[in-house]
Chain A
Amino acid sequence: MYHYDDFDQAFVAARVAQFRDQVARRLSGELTEEQFRPHRLMNGLYLQLHSYMLRVAVPYGTLNARQMRKLADIARAYDRGYGHFTTRQNIQYNWPALKHVPDILAELAAVEMHAIQTSGNCIRNVTADHFAGVAHDEIADPRPYAEILRQWSSLHPEFSFLPRKFKIAVNGAAHDRAVIQAHDIGLQIVRDEAGELGFTVYVGGGLGRSPFIGRKVREFLPERDLLGYVEAILRVYNLEGRRDNKFKARIKILLHEKTLETLKDEIEAEFAERDATLLDLPQSEVARVAAFFAPPALEPKKPGSDRVERRKGKDARFASFFAANVTAHKQPGYVVVTVSLKPIGAPPGDASADQMDAVADLAEDYSHDEIRVSHEQNLILPHVALDDLPAVYDRLASVGLATPNAGQISDIIACPGLDYCTLATARSIPVAERIAQKFGDGAKAKAVGPLKIKISGCINACGHHHVGHIGILGLERAGEETYQITLGGSGDETAAIGQIVGPGFSSENVVGAVETLVETYMGLRTSEAETFLDAFRRVGLAPFKEALYERSAGSDI
């Protein structure tokens, strides 16, 4: 993984000092809240319902054990003993005091971490595939490019006051695990016919109140041109993005209003004028950064493991864990282990300090000191020898982290919702908990198969409901929480925005509605191999609509 050199370390230290000074000026009253707001946001600090909330970046989702232990220490010392992993490879602390935030940032800097640009109207934490470097369908590791973009975008003098937030994601595999088409810029690593590495570039994806799937603006962008092209997009957006209405300020609206062709022409015209001497990526620089992400030297192993087979035979729960949470590693004899942060009946994405420490220990003992954070709010041990899997499983189970539900119906993405967030219009965590309780993590969930449920507590869509196979949006109607359901959304390379199925459901009835949808799917699927999403794409809304509103008593309308 990337390691700071003296320059990076001095930069982050200077940033901490700068923020310490800003906080002091805010506390003394020299800075008004309005003047302070952009500065605290550019350091990931929100003013929430009950307290400040600090969002810390886990750049492209890669962590080592020392960093994870620091996150645990911070949770103990400055928060209430836990943290919340988010849908953009960040961790949030919900209860820090403003006066302590500079100290927290200094602690993070000591382990090469920061909260720079995790919020605010600037270029946000650049995200990537959480299976980067270990996926066997990978064209190239996306993390070197994400790191180059992270450095280039850090405190960029021209792009620190954009019309609105700006999110970039990079995916390096054939399968899109980084939801790139729901980002302001999505970069898909590809090779051209000559075998040269480059990017297919998508612009204008985004969820929120006006969801759009990103549109392709470049089929093939040579690696060398990465920063020149990204700068061109940012400059067009900074100059022309709407600033009169924050709900219409994202680049997706600019694209929509201007049309794809016009925006594309403007980007290309700006790109043609770039300062190539400054922005062209030197091959040597790519190689320098890529070297940090070289895979660990994994001892050759035979592909199977008798130990794992024996345990699967006598322990059904271990077998379920193996089926759901274990993914093939590109090197035979190794696996990628997903540590579900979705125990049945608990808030999705939360981890206690003790759990963080336990994962750090496991990473050191069994995963070459590497941990990943996924946008699906889970943790990952990327390099586990198959033979070690029973031991890893037992230790995860001892701290409540062996929930065998990765990718299943109870592996739900949910935003913090009305329990924490000032913007929310309804609760999301309790709905996620109740759905998870309904289906569990055993035979019932397994029978349903892969199904992504995503829940947002307001139209800002932090829970990505638009790209959930089943999406749930919590709204407030006449003082009551109402949940609108969408079907058929998808966040991968076949990205699609879900379609609203009909009138919403009360908090009481929404879980029953999900149950009806799942039963309907199981009744109409051609075989167990046809997933919910495949079945929906084959049959469309009608059978689900009928089941919800004509046959069932679930509807409130």
Chain B
Amino acid sequence: MALWRTGGFAEDSWTRLADDTPAPAEGAVVVSLRRWLAEREALSQRKAPVGVSVEAGADAQAHLSDLADRPLVALAFAKFADGRAFSYARLLRDRHGFKGELRAAGDVLIDEIPLMLRCGFDAFDVTDAPTLAALEAGRLPGPALHYQPASVAGERPAGSRPWLRADISQRKL
């Protein structure tokens, strides 16, 4: 598995903690949503960052506001065709003002990454070999023109009629 962020492949400085592993004093960790909800107070006392991972298929909607102040939220796709996380991402970014890293995990494939980016994801745990190869080659497929400006950075109005149109061809990846 490799971590890809807009900007390229990166070292993952976050450690995933199993629910029964005590949190170490140092280092950035990612805990499950269940653990975050159960141990929120204690984990909040921690000086090092605590991110939250929402497992694939979980109904995260009710807890999105609880996650808004986290430095990292990972949303897992059980199947790339399960589109709920696209809405979770937009709600986190647009409604709850989430400013941290939004990471896509699970069934992350090259053809969906452009859509994920536009919904506010900015980091991707990638395992699929063709997806890794495409990212290594700097190839993200799909139109750079869009009829629905998302609230992500790097979208600029296209032409003389900005309404509902976006051109992201100049965005740096």
**Interface on A for B, CB 8 Å cutoff?**
5-7, 10-11, 14-15, 18, 21-22, 25, 30-31, 35, 38-39, 121, 151-163, 235, 238-239, 243, 273, 275, 278, 282, 285, 288
**Do A30 and B118 touch (CB < 8 A)?**
no
Interchain CB contact under 8 A, B141 and A21: yes
Chain B residue nearest to A158 in the complex (CB):
B86
Known A25-B130, A155-B146; 4 more pairs at CB < 8 Å: A7-B161, A11-B143, A161-B82, A239-B61
Compute how far the CA of A166 lies from the CA of B62 in the bound complex, rounded to whole angstroms: 25
A273 near B95: Cβ-Cβ < 8 Å: yes
B interface: dominant SS? loop
Is A7 within 8 A of B159, CB to CB?
yes
A157, B148: Cβ atoms under 8 Å?
yes
**Can you list 29 A-B contacts (CB < 8 A)?**
A10-B145, A11-B143, A11-B145, A14-B144, A14-B145, A18-B141, A18-B143, A22-B111, A31-B130, A39-B111, A152-B147, A155-B142, A155-B146, A157-B86, A157-B114, A157-B115, A157-B119, A157-B148, A158-B87, A159-B83, A159-B86, A160-B86, A161-B81, A161-B82, A161-B83, A238-B83, A238-B87, A239-B61, A243-B82
- Min CB gap A380→B, angstroms: 28
Q: 4 nearest interchain CB pairs? A: A161-B83, A14-B143, A157-B118, A157-B115
Chain A residues in 8 Å Cβ range of B111: 22, 35, 39
Kindly provide the distance from the CB of B158 to the nearest chain A CB, expressed in whole angstroms.
6
Q: Is the CB of B142 within 8 A of A14?
A: yes
A447 to B108, CA, bound (A): 61
Interface size on B, residues (CB 8 A): 38
Among residues of A, the one whose C-beta sits closest to the C-beta of B81 is: A161
CB of B9 within 8 A of chain A? no
Cα distance A162–B82 when bound, in Å?
Answer: 7
| Contact, CB under 8 Å: A6 / B159 | yes
Within 8 A of A (CB), among B88-130: 88, 90, 94-95, 109, 111-112, 114-116, 118-119, 130
Residues of A within 8 A of B118 (CB): 157
Residues of chain B within 8 A of A282, CB atoms compared: 163
In the complex, A39→B114 CA distance in Å? 13
Task: Assess the A38–B84 pair: CB atoms within 8 A.
Answer: no
Q: How far is the CB of B138 from chain A (nearest CB, A)?
A: 14
Closest to B115 in A: A157
Does the CB pair B143–A155 fall under 8 Å? yes
Q: Inter-chain contact count A-B, CB under 8 Å? A: 98
Q: Which residues of A contact B145 (CB under 8 A)?
A: 7, 10-11, 14
Known contacts A7-B145, A235-B87, A157 near B95 by CB under 8 Å: no
The minimal Cβ–Cβ distance linking B6 to chain A, given in whole angstroms, is: 15
| Given A158-B90, A285-B163, residue A152 in contact with residue B148 (CB < 8 A) | yes
State in angstroms the CA–CA spacing of A15 and B141 once bound together.
10
Residue of B nearest to A156 (CB): B148
Residues of B within 8 A of A38 (CB): 80-81
Contact across chains for A275 and B144 when beta carbons are under 8 A apart: no
Give which listed residue, B109, B119, B165, contacts A158 with CB less than 8 A: B119
Q: Which residues of A contact B114 (CB under 8 A)?
A: 157
Contacts of A154 in B (CB 8 A): 147
The smallest beta-carbon distance between B163 and chain A, in angstroms, is 5
Q: A11 touches which one: B86, B119, B147 (CB < 8 A)?
A: B147
Given known A35-B109, A157-B86, A239-B84, contact A18–B142 (CB-CB < 8 A): yes
B164 at the interface (CB under 8 A from A): yes
Residue B149 at the chain A interface, CB threshold 8 Å: yes
Provide the bound-state CA to CA distance between A161 and B80, in Å.
Answer: 8
Distance in angstroms from A36 CB to nearest chain B CB is 9
The docked-state distance in angstroms from the alpha carbon of A155 to that of B142 is 10
Q: Is the CB of A162 within 8 A of B83?
A: yes
Q: How far is the CA of A152 from the CA of B149 in the complex (A)?
A: 10
Measured between beta carbons, the chain A residues less than 8 angstroms from B17 are none
Q: How distant is the Cα of A153 from the Cα of B86 in the complex, in angstroms?
A: 15
Q: How far is the CA of A278 from the CA of B146 in the complex (A)?
A: 14
Question: Does B151 make an interface contact (CB < 8 A)?
Answer: yes
Q: Is the CB of A238 within 8 A of B149?
A: no
